[in-house]
Amino acid sequence: MNIFTERPESDMQQEFPRWFESKIGNLYTANDPRCTPDLFALASGPSSTATSINSCVVNGVKFVVHSRDVKRTNQNSGICSPGEKEGEMYYGQLDDILEFSYTQFKVVLFRVKWFDLAKKVNKKLLIV
C-alpha cells in the first residue's frame, strides 16, 4: 500500500508540511518499516534557518555563485539546462546557493538568473 494515497483535504501548499509530519510521525510511532530514516528526517523538517553559501559540490560538480566569480579570471558560475523542446537549452547565472540541514543529510537549492535566448527574457527560478 502506498503511504501517500491520502492527501490533505484543503490547500496543499499550506497544509502539506503538517500533514506530512503527522503521517510519517504515525508510521514512526507504529514502527512501520516504510518510515525510513531519510523520510523521517524530511518530515521533521530542516534546521530553522538556511545558510547561504558561495560554492558547493553536487555529484562531483563544483558550483560557484556569480558574486564570487566577478573579479576572477576563471569563472564557474554559469549553468545550463535542457528545455522542454528537442535541442532547446537554457543558460543562466548562479545567484545564490541555500543549504538546508536535516538530521541525516543536507539539501541545496540554487537561485538562478535564467536567460532564454530565444525569447530574450530572463527569469529567476529555484532548482535543486
Say whether both 71 and 35 belong to one domain: no
CA distances from 115 to 43, 57, 119 (A): 35, 23, 9
pLDDT-derived band at 36 (thresholds 50, 70, 90) equals very high
Torsions phi, psi for 111 (to 5 deg): -100, 115
Residue 3 lies in a domain: no
For residues 94 and 92, give the distance between their C-alpha atoms in angstroms, rounded to a whole number. Answer: 7
* pLDDT tens digit sequence for 80-119: 888 888 888 888 999 999 999 998 889 999 999 988 666 6
How many domains, the chain? 2
Say whether both 87 and 27 belong to one domain: no
CA R_g for the chain:
19
pLDDT-derived band at 47 (thresholds 50, 70, 90) equals confident
Confidence (pTM) = 0.66
Give Cβ neighbours of residue 35 (< 8 Å, ≥ 6 apart): 24, 27, 28
Structural domain boundaries enclosing 85 = 46-127
Say whether both 61 and 106 belong to one domain: yes
Residue 116 lies in a domain: yes
Give Cβ neighbours of residue 67 (< 8 Å, ≥ 6 apart): 54, 95
